[in-house]
Structure 1
Amino acid sequence: MTHDHDLVLRPTSAQTEAALNPPPGRNGGDLVVETLAGLGATTVFGLPGQHALGMFDALRRSDLRYVGLRVENNAGFAADAYGRITGEAAPLLLSTGPGALTSLAALQEAAAASAPVLAIGSQIPTAGLGGGRHGYLHELPDQAASFRGVVKSVHTVRAQSQIPSAIAAAWKSALTAPHGPVWVEIAQDVLLAPASLPVVTGVDATPDELVPRPELTAVAADLLSRAARPAIIAGGGVVRADASGKLRLLAERLSAPVVTTFGGKGAFPWEHPLSLQSWLEDRHTTDFLEDADVLLVVGSGLGELSSNYHTFKPRGRVVQIEADLGKLESNHPALGIHADARLALQALLETVEEREDPTAPERVRDLLARVRARLASQDLGLEQQVLASVRRALPADAPSFWDMTILAYWAWSAFDAKSPNTMHSAQGAGGLGYGFPAALGAAAADPTRPVLAVSGDGGALYSIAELATARQYDLNVTWLIVDDGGYGILREYMTDAFGQATATELTRPDYVALAESFGVPGVRTSPETLEADLAEALASPGPSVVVLPAVLRMFAPTHLG
């Protein structure tokens, strides 16, 4: 009997001829870039280093576009954003030891946010691997061990014939739900050695589908159909799975109010009659969710930020759909469904019974009114004015990337993302320096839209070097820096906790002059002129910097009871 896949494996005469006569001058690095191209990659990020030069030399012979950043961590953030925007695995090429280790904080963010990043690093020569020779530059006793606790999978290559399969396996791992970063390392001598193997052409790395078990979705559908007060928490898994349309259909069929987590911004329309928006750091919202008799949690592990700092105590039945097995029922007992959000929502749509509840929109309006009243009592007009100005200046379809800064904390709760997969922040792992390099990666992914980056002055200092990258590749990113003289949120935390702040005040550069020294136009703005200045910068092609000197405050914590 002949199977279809048997036919695929038979080379044509042209393929045979090409395989028997590979082009001269190739090395192990060519096998890397040929495999990436065969998998569908078009853009790679990274930073060269001594042991990785074989890979970078091979880029010269390929059609892959290379975007080189100035710091490995920032290259990781750029790849993270590229993966989020495109849904493809973003290749990140790194060198050994210090270069590899410098990327770890970015890969931690990619892991926490389920962003597909394919990190490919070099290694010392094979003679030094596994306890052989010692004393190589950049050598680590066990480089792979440094990545194992961060990435989804680790792949070590010791021979050229292993390269295509190792990279294909890593690609598949990165794009199988939940998406995430993976690590491939290839010894220096393997990358540099002449390659006699044929050009890599046929590479199959189709991700596995994570399908829900039908007996579980049947029970979930029954619970939701019979619920008196159903509600939905939509997390980043809905965005990653491109499932926001199915989420909306299900919410409307069930008349179930929906709150989106900070990682799930845009998963549900902000102004929809059933939208509870994103006010998770609000006791009124927490009470509303606790009162649901059936709570559907889709694509969220209900971690610290999504559970109002673990004060959320649901009283009804919880149904949790989660692609990351380790997060399933990790924080709350539930009917746990291990599945991709899109496939699970589709299964529910096929089985739930429609329920009508004319009171649901009224309960949503009442909750949002109470949230607004609470904010109105706190003298936070400046903060709301600044955030509203950013929203009006930013085109509806333009993506934004937010660093860990007070304005971003506001945006988590109060910013209308307008559509799925447009608002991103570093709230997964919470490291500083994410916003600007991530925005560069997004601009590389889609040069047709302007991209906004938002940082505080503290986070901006992590990424200043990438102004050179923005200028070199003429990337269409506007960087809003809110300058409050230090680490503003830490200043506020410490003052609240100890009566005064320590180690939070910073000497800063003149950001406008600094930007202009890189050939990037800069402007100093004010809360009153922010909207006009930001809109003008976003409308101008290429990179730009807008500096807003302002001390913003957080709204009062509402998770304390």
Structure 2
Amino acid sequence: MTHDHDLVLRPTPAQTEAALNPPAGRTGGDLVMETLAGLGATTVFGLSGRHASGMSDALRRADLRYVGLRVESNAGFAADAYGRITGEAAPLLLPAGPGALTALAALQEAAMASAPVLAVGSLVPTVGPGGGPHGHPHALPDQSAPFRDVVKSVHTVRTQSRIPSALAAAWQSALTAPHGPVWVGVPQDVLRAGTAIPVVTGVDATPEELPPRPELTAVAADLLTRAERPAIIAGGGVVRADAAGKLRQLAERLSAPVVTTFGGKGAFPWNHPLSLRSWPADRPTTDFLEDADVLLVIGSGLGGLTAGHRPFTPRGRVVQIEADAGKLESGHPALGIHADARLALQALLETAGTREDDTAPARVRALLDRVEERIAARDLAVEQDVPASVRRALPPRAPSFWDMTALTYWAWSAFDARHPNTMHAAQGAGGPGYAFPAALGAAVADPTQPVLAVSDGGGALYSIAELATARRYGLDVTWLIVDDGGHDSPRESTTDASGEPTGAEPTRPDLVALAESFGVPGVRTSPGALETDLREALSRPGPSVVVLPAVLREFAPARPGE
């Protein structure tokens, strides 16, 4: 009898030949590139620099596409989007010290949004002028320490022989549910030194599966089958697990209305009779969900954005399915099921019975009518027309990436994503400057679709340098900048607090001229011309900028009684 642990992976003749006769001039950096290619990577993001020269030099000899950006955080956002679109771990190459620290904001976003990013950073040499890292430029006492509270796992390498296995472990960690960023640190001298280690020709790093416990899904299926008023909240975990089809099957079997969180946009068809769409933070929808006798929450941690930063108190039984154990029952007592959304939905489909409820579509329609009537009664024509124009101009399967702007807050609720994994926002960590570099990463991942980025005037300046990157690689990204003269969200919050937009209205540059100075075509539009101008820009090869001068009010959820 043969046991799994008795199996030995035997090298092929070609692998043996490559191992015994390595090419001359290889370094530790080549081991990094060979391992990434062996794991299945085809593209890497990052910045070249003297302190990462061991990796950048090895890139010249590697069969990997390198996409170089201008700022480390932007390279991280691009890698984040590449990981979201492809479902692969996106390698991100970083220099030591300040360069690595600059990428922390991007890795925090990837961690909170469960995007698989494999960051490989150079560390200061193992031996310094004083017998340690001190005295080296960019030196930190422990380069990996700042990453430990941000990423899923940290892997520090001190010898060349450890490079392949450390990268394989990191790759597996990044792609095991819940997906997320990981950090691998390799000293500069280890990367630069010549190596006699055999050529890395194959690496096994299969992600671990996360199936649900069968006794828990049996109880969940029974609760849902016997429920009188079941409802479902579908979050980003459904999208990441590619489980939208299974969600629809379960909802239809149970006649259960479905609301998608902002991270779960596109997980359920917008115009389905059971679709509550994406108004979870609005009071009428919150009331509907709190009134469910069984509430299934799948792929969502029920964070502050989902309930509009207000108390959310379900009165019925809650069943929560979540791959991130830290989010299970973190805000509400529930039957917590630690599992990948796709595997858990499949288990429920195999166990749950059929519920007949002819009243569910009528209740859904009544709720949506109430939401629409409330908004129509306010003077919000521009706030509604702008996202509608964007939707009409954007091809159905084209992905979009959104900074935290007033327009984004409207789009989270009112924008039909059309398909899963096509609408992404910086809602995980909430940092500015995400949209445009992320859109560049998406364009690299799938060049068959145009990509839209949406920023406000202040957020755009965080990533304006990447117009050079877009131009250099000829990426089909259209950047819609709502030129509000600064940061619309800080402006509104500081004005509400003190009556003055303190620090939220910096000097306004000419964004069209700025784009054109990079060789990127720009156009200034208006709400009435937005659809036409945006459609034209999206149909044009290469990058483009569309500037909409406007100050939009943020979406305000209904108050109790409205």
Structure 2: 5+ residue stretches without partners = none
Deviations 1:241-277 (A, max 9, x none): 1111100000000000000000110010111100000
Q: Secondary structure at the match of 1:143?
A: coil
Once residues 555 and 131 of structure 2 are traced to their aligned partners in structure 1, the CA distance between those partners, rounded to angstroms, is 55
Once residues 485 and 553 of structure 2 are traced to their aligned partners in structure 1, the CA distance between those partners, rounded to angstroms, is 13
Assess, with a 3 A threshold, how the Cα gap between structure 1 residues 245 and 472 changes in structure 2: closer, same or farther. Answer: same
The answer to whether the 8 Å contact 2:159/2:190 transfers is yes
Residue 141 of structure 1 deviates from its aligned partner by 1.1
Deviations 1:434-493 (A, max 9, x none): 000000000000001000000000100000000000000000100000001111122122
Assess, with a 3 A threshold, how the Cα gap between structure 1 residues 129 and 271 changes in structure 2: closer, same or farther. Answer: farther
Structure 1 vs Structure 2: percent identity of aligned residues? 80
Once residues 352 and 12 of structure 2 are traced to their aligned partners in structure 1, the CA distance between those partners, rounded to angstroms, is 50
* Aligned counterpart, 1:189: 189
Once residues 185 and 88 of structure 1 are traced to their aligned partners in structure 2, the CA distance between those partners, rounded to angstroms, is 20
Deviations 1:127-186 (A, max 9, x none): 259983511101011111100000000000000000000000000000000000000000
Assess, with a 3 A threshold, how the Cα gap between structure 1 residues 226 and 509 changes in structure 2: closer, same or farther. Answer: same
Once residues 489 and 283 of structure 2 are traced to their aligned partners in structure 1, the CA distance between those partners, rounded to angstroms, is 21
Once residues 461 and 502 of structure 1 are traced to their aligned partners in structure 2, the CA distance between those partners, rounded to angstroms, is 18
Q: What RMSD, in angstroms, separates the aligned Cα atoms of the two structures?
A: 1.4
Q: Return the letter of the residue paired with 1:202.
A: G
Q: Return the letter of the residue paired with 1:433.
A: G
Once residues 129 and 540 of structure 1 are traced to their aligned partners in structure 2, the CA distance between those partners, rounded to angstroms, is 54
Structure 2 counterparts to residues 54-133 of structure 1, below 5 A: 54-128=54-128, 132-133=132-133
Structure 2 counterparts to residues 106-505 of structure 1, below 5 A: 106-128=106-128, 132-505=132-505
Structure 1: 5+ residue stretches without partners = none
The answer to whether the 8 Å contact 2:406/2:555 transfers is no
Assess, with a 3 A threshold, how the Cα gap between structure 1 residues 193 and 559 changes in structure 2: closer, same or farther. Answer: farther
Once residues 295 and 129 of structure 1 are traced to their aligned partners in structure 2, the CA distance between those partners, rounded to angstroms, is 61
Once residues 285 and 2 of structure 2 are traced to their aligned partners in structure 1, the CA distance between those partners, rounded to angstroms, is 60
* Aligned counterpart, 1:558: 558
Once residues 129 and 335 of structure 1 are traced to their aligned partners in structure 2, the CA distance between those partners, rounded to angstroms, is 57
The answer to whether the 8 Å contact 2:125/2:133 transfers is no
Assess, with a 3 A threshold, how the Cα gap between structure 1 residues 162 and 447 changes in structure 2: closer, same or farther. Answer: same
The answer to whether the 8 Å contact 1:286/1:308 transfers is no
Residue 195 of structure 1 deviates from its aligned partner by 1.4
Q: Return the letter of the residue paired with 2:55.
A: M
Residue 5 of structure 1 deviates from its aligned partner by 7.3
Structure 2 counterparts to residues 504-543 of structure 1, below 5 A: 504-543=504-543
Once residues 458 and 560 of structure 1 are traced to their aligned partners in structure 2, the CA distance between those partners, rounded to angstroms, is 33
Deviations 1:39-78 (A, max 9, x none): 1000000012222101111110011000000000000000
Q: Return the letter of the residue paired with 1:224.
A: L
Q: Secondary structure at the match of 2:452?
A: strand
Q: Return the letter of the residue paired with 2:339.
A: A
Residue 94 of structure 1 deviates from its aligned partner by 0.3
* Aligned counterpart, 1:32: 32
The answer to whether the 8 Å contact 1:309/1:559 transfers is no
Question: How many residue pairs align between the two structures?
Answer: 561
Q: Secondary structure at the match of 1:355?
A: coil
Once residues 485 and 129 of structure 2 are traced to their aligned partners in structure 1, the CA distance between those partners, rounded to angstroms, is 47
Residue 86 of structure 1 deviates from its aligned partner by 0.3
The answer to whether the 8 Å contact 2:435/2:454 transfers is yes
The answer to whether the 8 Å contact 1:378/1:555 transfers is no
The answer to whether the 8 Å contact 1:33/1:59 transfers is yes
Assess, with a 3 A threshold, how the Cα gap between structure 1 residues 542 and 5 changes in structure 2: closer, same or farther. Answer: farther
TM-score between both structures, scaled by the size of structure 1:
0.98
Residue 348 of structure 1 deviates from its aligned partner by 0.2
Once residues 431 and 129 of structure 2 are traced to their aligned partners in structure 1, the CA distance between those partners, rounded to angstroms, is 32
Q: Return the letter of the residue paired with 1:95.
A: P
Once residues 418 and 131 of structure 2 are traced to their aligned partners in structure 1, the CA distance between those partners, rounded to angstroms, is 54
Q: Secondary structure at the match of 1:465?
A: helix
TM-score between both structures, scaled by the size of structure 2:
0.98
Q: Which moved more, 1:126-135 or 1:46-55?
A: 126-135
Q: Secondary structure at the match of 2:442?
A: helix
Q: Secondary structure at the match of 1:38?
A: helix
Assess, with a 3 A threshold, how the Cα gap between structure 1 residues 128 and 156 changes in structure 2: closer, same or farther. Answer: farther
Once residues 423 and 57 of structure 2 are traced to their aligned partners in structure 1, the CA distance between those partners, rounded to angstroms, is 36
Once residues 548 and 11 of structure 1 are traced to their aligned partners in structure 2, the CA distance between those partners, rounded to angstroms, is 59
Once residues 211 and 2 of structure 2 are traced to their aligned partners in structure 1, the CA distance between those partners, rounded to angstroms, is 29
Q: Secondary structure at the match of 2:220?
A: helix
The answer to whether the 8 Å contact 1:311/1:559 transfers is no
Residue 120 of structure 1 deviates from its aligned partner by 0.3
Residue 11 of structure 1 deviates from its aligned partner by 2.4
